[in-house]
Structure 1
Amino acid sequence: MAMQYDQISDAYSKAAGQFVFKRAVESYTLFKVIGPVEGKSVLDVACGDGYYARLFRHSGAARVVGVDVSEQMIKTARGRDEEAGLGVEYRVHDAADLPVLGSFDWITAVYLLNYAATKEQMLRMCQGMFANLAPGGRLVAVVPNADFDPAVSSSAKYGIAMRPPEDRMEGSVMSLDLLMDPPLTIRFIYWSRSTYEQAFAEAGFGDIRWHPLECSPEPEQVEFWRDYLANQH
């Protein structure tokens, strides 16, 4: 299912550039949780077009490796990195069969695990990331909110419309509409929090914590994102 990005890589990259949520909420939360990355090594799994990999280098990370299953996404990422001259390393790998690429202080997986077709595949993803962590290293993963309520969604305001399966059955296909120009639909798999937690624990991770998404504390940002943060996708 993740291979859909080979077909939509150009459209997705353009949409991501228009996507205010990614900058104002997702990026803000990710960097707040991680903290300073200066001098650190970072492995960005499911890096897409390299958006976060480039931000990590801009923020002073000593080594950044971006991995994605989509050859087209990696091609786009390499092209953008050449323009910026940041020296990010990009590799094409399936996250469920991830080789050891180093010993990293931080690993990020932004909307990776929700593409696991089975619980076993999710476990392999987590095991591969665990094998790439340095002692004391940390993984930060972003996954869809399993408790999202589409009945009270403010999708038109925020440009996001998520459609979870009506029965909330684990392993069911769900979709996310990015209401951009042109609109874009992405499909992935519905998993509960307990399934994610089980995969992390079985792979060897400890001290598993959930962090809600946040926006920057400026009053106008807090007011604008209030409805979204009360029902995050």
Structure 2
Amino acid sequence: MNNYVAIYDGIGEKFDQAISKASEREVEVNTFFHMLGDVNNKRVLDLACGHGFFARQMIERGADEVVGVDISSEMIKLAINDSLDVPNLQYHVHDVALMPHLGSFDLVSAVWLLCYADSEETLVQMLVNIHNSLLPGGRLIAYTSNPDFRLGICNFTRYGLTILSEEPIEGGFSCDAQFVTEPPVPFHFYRLSREVYERAIRRAGFSHFEWVVPMIPQKHLDEFGEAYWYDFQRNCDQVGLVCQK
């Protein structure tokens, strides 16, 4: 995971530019908060928090406390700077697969975290740490790379990112991609299989899990039209995942 420290330290403020201009971003946000549900009076651990967008949103929506964690110190600096006036919000720099116990939480959120697991064992390490961070009955709300995506059907450029290449690895694919910005912002991720995910979830001790199809807001269907979203709906590169302790 150390390679990601350099990558995201280097991206810094470009990351916000990259995601804010992608049409898939509103789908991601809409789906995430649908899965998350009511956060009023909840304690939330926000993993791969980046510059703190979701952490701040959850405080605004009534969470008692949010603890953000990211592997990139530069991302955490941005998050702290953008959250100076936000109460009950703190940030830490950790690799989730190796992070110490930070407390017990009602919810753990992980938007674009699990896709950085390069093997089933790394994924299990992440999920075990998440499971150990949850109170009984607590939930993990994740958004990750869709195991069912097939690059041979279509790419994802019109929605905000281009997958440049993918190489088979045990249990999935190792992928190089770039955000559609000027200049493009490169990154690397892993698309592990559905079987690997589900086996890792069970190994980590979760009692129940559910895959969630990304939900395109009606205003975006109206704005861009059904034809624009055709490839997104038939070969989506992202998916929601809810796991319960």
Equivalent residue number for residue 73 of structure 1: 75
Q: After superposition, what is the alpha-carbon deviation per residue over 1:8-36, rounded to whole angstroms, capped at 9, x for unaligned?
A: 122212222323321x2001001111111
Partners of 2:35 and 2:176 in 1: CA distance: 27
Preserved CA contact (<8 Å) 1:78 1:90: yes
Task: Give yes or no for contact 1:153–1:161 (8 Å, CA) kept in 2.
Answer: no
Compared with structure 1, are the counterparts of its residues 198 and 164 closer, same or farther at alpha carbon in structure 2 (3 Å cutoff)? farther
> More helix by proportion, 1 or 2?
1
Aligned-partner SS, 1:153: coil
Counterpart of 2:101 in structure 1 is 100
Give the Cα separation in 1 of the matches to 2:164 and 2:147.
11
Kept in 1: contact 2:119–2:192 (CA 8 A): no
Cross-structure match for 1:124: 125
SS at match of 1:27: helix
Deviations 1:41-92 (A, max 9, x none): 111111111111111112111111100111111111001001x434411011
- Return the letter of the residue paired with 1:14: Q
**Equivalent residue letter for 1:230:** R
Distance 1:189 1:64 in 2: 27
Q: How far has the Cα of 1:177 moved from its partner?
A: 2.0
Partner of 2:235: 231
Per-residue deviation at 1:153?
2.4
Structure 2 residue 19 is matched with structure 1 residue 7: no
The two structures, once aligned, show a CA RMSD in angstroms of 2.0
- What is residue 31 of structure 2 aligned with on the other side? 29
TM normalised by structure 1 equals 0.90
Aligned to 2:144: 143
State the match for 2:48 in structure 1.
Answer: 46
Tell me which protein shows more strand as a share of its residues.
2
| Alpha-carbon distance between aligned partners in 2 of 1:171 and 1:217, rounded to the nearest angstrom | 33
Which amino acid in the other structure matches residue 158 of structure 2? Answer: K
Report the Cα distance in structure 1 between the residues aligned to 2:176 and 2:207, rounded to whole angstroms.
30
Tell whether 2:22 aligns with 1:19: yes
> Contact between 2:64 and 2:88, CA under 8 Å: does it hold in 1?
no
User: What is the TM-score of this pair, normalised by structure 2?
Assistant: 0.86
- Closer, same or farther in 2 for the Cα pair 1:119/1:154, shift >3 Å? closer
SS in 2 for 1:134: strand
Checking the alignment, whether the CA contact within 8 Å between 1:5 and 1:73 is kept in structure 2 is: yes
The offset of 1:166, in angstroms, is: 5.3
Q: Provide the identity percentage.
A: 35
Gaps of 5+ in 1: none
One-letter amino acid of the counterpart of residue 99, structure 1: P
SS in 2 for 1:195: helix
Unaligned runs of 5+ in 2: 238-245
Correspondence list, 1:147-186, <5 A: 147-153=148-154, 155-163=156-164, 165=166, 167=168, 169-170=170-171, 172-186=173-187
Greater alpha carbon shift after TM alignment, 181-190 vs 133-142: 181-190
Query: How many residues are matched?
Result: 231
CA contact (8 A) 2:172 2:191 kept: yes
CA distance in 1, matches of 2:41, 2:48: 22
CA distance in 1, matches of 2:165, 2:31: 23
Worse-superposed segment, 7-16 or 129-138: 7-16
CA offset digits 1:143-196 (Å, max 9, x no partner): 211221223326343222224625465364202321122211210123111111
Specify the code of the residue in structure 2 equivalent to 1:100: H
Q: Partner letter of residue 8 of structure 2?
A: Y
Alignment map for 1:184-199 (pairs within 5 Å): 184-199=185-200
Superposed structure 1 runs of 4+ greater than 2 Å apart = 16-20, 84-87, 149-157, 162-173, 221-227
| Whole-Å separation in 1 of the counterparts to 2:81 and 2:33 | 24
